[in-house]
Amino acid sequence: MSEAEVPQAAPPAFEVPRHVAIIMDGNGRWAAARGLPRAEGHRRGVEALRRTIRAAGEIGIQIITIFSFSAENWSRPPTEIRELMGLLRRFIRNDLAELHRSNVRVRIIGEREGLDPDIGRLLTEAEELTRANSGLTLVVAFNYGARQEIARAARRIAEQVERGALKSADVTIETVGAFLDAPDLPDPDLIIRTSGEQRLSNFLLWQSAYSELVFLPTYWPDFDRAALEAAIREYQQRERRFGGLVAKTGS
Write out the catalytic residue numbers. 25, 73
Cβ proximity to ligand FPP, 91 vs 179, nearer residue:
91
Edge-to-edge strands, sheet with 212-215? 105-109, 137-144, 63-70, 19-23, 190-193, 212-215
Residue 220 lies near ligand FPP (rule: CB under 6 A):
yes
Cβ proximity to ligand FPP, 122 vs 157, nearer residue:
122
The residue length of the chain stands at 251
Rg (CA), the chain: 18
**Binding to ligand FPP (CB under 6 A): which residues in 37-56?**
42, 45-46, 49
Cβ proximity to ligand FPP, 96 vs 161, nearer residue:
96
Q: Residue 63, CB half-sphere, CA atoms under 13 Å: how many?
A: 19
Residue 25 lies near ligand FPP (rule: CB under 6 A):
yes
**202/58 Cα distance (integer angstroms):** 29
Write down the least CB distance from residue 72 to ligand FPP, Å. Answer: 9
**208/215 Cα distance (integer angstroms):** 14
Phi/psi for 77 (5° steps) reads: -60, 145
Per-residue interface string for the shown chain with ligand FPP, residues 144-173, x marking contact by CB under 6 A: ------------------------------
Which residues in this chain contact ligand FPP in the complex, by CB under 6 A? 24-29, 42, 45-46, 49, 68, 73, 84, 87-88, 91, 195, 220
